[in-house]
Amino acid sequence: MNETSRAARGHAARVAWSRCAGALLLAASLQASGGPSDARAIIEGVYRQDTSHDALIKAGFEIFDKDGHSTQKKFTVSRIGAPGERRTLVVFSDPQEIRGVALLSISRPGASARQYLYVPAIQRVRAVAVQQRTERFLGTDFSFEDIQERALDDYSYRLLGDTELIDGHKTYKIEATPLDRADSQYKFLHYWVAQDAPVIIYAEMFDDQGAKVRTLHATQLRRLSGIWGVRHTEVHTVREGTRTILSITDVKLNTGLNEQLFTPQALEASAGPKTAD
């Protein structure tokens, strides 16, 4: 099945942290969207299932180098706003040398997200420049392209199969191909979407030569307030043999976060909204 994009291009990308700690976590029920009619509809169901107003998440990265040595980073993610206009604040709490560092992402419809970093040691907020999409995100195995959630309409989709079992879930295997090659480091991506929950539980990304660049494996599916998500995501960079585990320990939805706190000014004034540690 070879689908071309049809919907309007106004559907904005959700930004980095939504992807890491949100998009992989929160997903609408596939059944709620009325069942998969084609590959595009399956992916659309994954992207649009999140209906929460805000979220407060505790999470951590464990980053393994090629020799197996690991470093850990703990953080909280506060997220507010509707898809396409979200503001996400990540505040690092561990280890000590990055404690208090805060990253604010502000999504804008039809434009790339703005990012601001607050560094307590120099007591200032700085704009973070738009990254090259191939760059690693803060030393993890996620690239900047990976954490910027993809717009549905930027890809064409093809259903490759619907019988593979992963971690006991029957899956749809879908190939996503960027419509504009200049927009992506990948030539194509393969997604495995669980048929019993609208969540991508496995993915493979391929470069220009068709070589596998990264794999993503999401486990520990949970449903909270009717929204599906995963609590454990492992990304593996094939060529370098490094991997990163994103673990989510706690999720609270619709807690009534104050939008005024999600601004660069608020960051500089108070090192960002205080979140539970």
Partner 1 sequence: MLGALFQISSRQWLTHRLRLLLTALGIALGVGVYFAVSTANTALLASLALTVERLAGQSTLQVSAGETGFPEATLDAVRGTPGVQVAEPVIEVIVRTGLAEEGNLLILGVDTTGDQQLRQYEFDRSASQIADPLTYLAQPYSILLSRAFAERHGVNIGDRVPLFTAHGRKDFTVQGLFKPTGIGAVFDGNIAVMDVYSAQVVFGRGRNFDRIDLKNAPGISVEDLQARLRTRLPAGLEVQQPRMRGQALENAVTAMRLGMLITSFIALLVGVYLIFNSFTIAIGQRWKEIGILRAVGVERAHINAMFLAEALVMGVCGSLLGITGGFLAAAEANRVMSSIAASVYGVVSTAVAPRLHSELVLTALALGVAASLTGAWFPARAAAHLDPILALHNIEARQRESTLGWGRAALGAGLILLSSLLVGFAPARVGMTSQFAFAGLMLLGLTILMPVLVHWVARLLRPVLDWTGGSEGALAVDAMIQSPRRSAATVGALMISLMFVYSTGAYIQSYRHMIDRWTSRMLNADLFVATSALLRSTSYHFSEDLGREIAALPEVERVENVRFTLIPYRGDAAAVIAIEMDGFLARAADAVLGGNRETVRKLLPRGQGVLVSRNFSARWSAGVGSRVHINAPAGVLDLPILGIVEDYRSDKGSIFMDRGLYKQYWHDDAVDFVDISLKPGASPTAVKARIERLTAGNEHALVYTNAQFRGWISGLVDQFFLLNYMQLVVAIIVAVVGIANTLLISAMERRREFGILRALGGLRSQIAKVVLLEALTISIVGVLVGAIAALFNIQFMSHTVSTVLAGYDVPYVFPWQLILESLPLVTAVSLVAAWLPARRAMQVQVVEAIGYE
Amino acid at 231: R
Four-CA torsion 175, 180, 181, 187, nearest 10 degrees: 0
Smallest distance from the beta carbon of 97 to partner 1, in angstroms? 5
**Helix and strand element counts for the chain (H, E):** 4, 15
Smallest distance from the beta carbon of 138 to partner 1, in angstroms? 5
Per-residue exposure over 199-210, b if at least 16 CB sit within 10 Å of its own CB, e if not: bbbbbbbbbeee
Looking only at residues 91 through 130 of this chain, which bind partner 1 when binding is defined by CB under 8 A? 92, 97-98, 101, 117, 119-122, 124, 126, 128-130
Q: Which position among 35, 109, 110, 139 is part of the footprint of partner 1 (CB under 8 A)?
A: 139
- Per CB under 8 A, does 132 bind partner 1? yes
Residues 6 or more apart whose Cβ sits within 8 Å of residue 122: none
The dihedrals phi and psi of 156, each to the nearest 5 degrees, come to: -105, 155
Could you write out the three-class secondary structure of 43-91? HHHHHHCCCCCEEEEEEEEEEECCCCCEEEEEEEEEEECCCCCCEEEEE
Cβ(201)–Cβ(219) below 8 Å: yes
Q: Identify which of residues 135 and 164 has a Cβ nearer to partner 1 in the complex.
A: 135
Cis, bond preceding 95 (omega within 30 deg of 0): yes
Smallest distance from the beta carbon of 71 to partner 1, in angstroms? 7
Cβ(218)–Cβ(235) below 8 Å: no
Which residues are registered as beta bridge partners of 90? 77, 103
Q: Which position among 2, 134, 225, 249 is part of the footprint of partner 1 (CB under 8 A)?
A: 134
Which residues are registered as beta bridge partners of 224? 227
Smallest distance from the beta carbon of 145 to partner 1, in angstroms? 14
Looking only at residues 152 through 211 of this chain, which bind partner 1 when binding is defined by CB under 8 A? none
Q: Identify which of residues 1 and 130 has a Cβ nearer to partner 1 in the complex.
A: 130
- Per CB under 8 A, does 131 bind partner 1? yes
Q: Which position among 2, 70, 71, 220 is part of the footprint of partner 1 (CB under 8 A)?
A: 71
Smallest distance from the beta carbon of 91 to partner 1, in angstroms? 12
Smallest distance from the beta carbon of 248 to partner 1, in angstroms? 19
Q: Identify which of residues 142 and 202 has a Cβ nearer to partner 1 in the complex.
A: 142
Smallest distance from the beta carbon of 109 to partner 1, in angstroms? 22
Q: Identify which of residues 54 and 145 has a Cβ nearer to partner 1 in the complex.
A: 145
Total number of residues binding partner 1 (CB under 8 A)?
Answer: 26
> Is the alpha carbon torsion for 118, 119, 120, 125 positive or negative?
negative
Q: List residues near partner 1 by CB under 8 A.
A: 65, 71, 73, 92, 97-98, 101, 117, 119-122, 124, 126, 128-132, 134-136, 138-139, 240, 242
